[in-house]
Amino acid sequence: MATVQTPRSAWIDAAIDAMAGGGLSAVRVEALARTLGVTKGSFYWHFTDRQALLDEMLDAWQEAVTEDVIAQVDSQPTDARGKLQKLYELTGSSDRLSAELAIRDWARHDKDIAGRLRRMDNRRMRYLRSLFSEFCVDEADVEARSILTYSLLIGNHFIAAKHGGWSRRQVLQFAIDRLLS
């Protein structure tokens, strides 16, 4: 009888989920093996050590939350404003935010991770600038809208304020509409 091997991607996905749920310390081989219902030996079939998993986890996470999102937005047959609206829709959920925040916290304590995060932030900002520059001629306006957009996409999840008679979704759309005008 052939044995079924747990795919490498399952380990990476489980590591991202663990990171989202409990930060770097939650990404432990034993705990991931339990979550996946396999032995630690399965882990070592794919990875030389925990660091190798962490490196691949970061690569996969970055690809999913940056490059894949950009590719999906760019596939839209619309102008820059339409692409920015799609970007807000794709990144507006908090599904990916927990992992993002855990990785940002990790970067505060690890200069290598901080460097990776800086490169990713720069990639995202370059992309935002490219879209805003399609309808904004002033470089300062492009930069301001880009940083406000990036801040809105990440920072709005930290705000617990109520908005009178408006829902959070409505208020975010008001902000987006202003940035796209």
Which pLDDT belongs to residue 93? 63
Full set of structural domains in the chain with CATH: 58-180 (1.10.357.10)
The DSSP secondary-structure symbol of 79 reads -
- pTM, rounded to two decimals: 0.89
Closest among 170, 136, 169, 132 to 150, alpha carbons compared: 132
Residue by residue, pLDDT tens for the chain (181 residues) are 445 578 999 999 999 999 999 999 999 999 999 999 998 888 999 999 999 999 999 999 999 999 999 999 999 899 999 999 999 988 866 567 889 999 999 999 999 999 999 999 999 999 999 999 999 999 999 999 999 999 998 888 888 899 999 998 899 899 999 999 9
CB atoms under 10 Å from CB of 132, counted, come to: 23
Phi and psi torsions of 163, nearest 5°: -125, 45
Alpha helices in 7-110 (DSSP H): 8-22, 29-36, 40-46, 50-62, 68-74, 80-91, 97-107
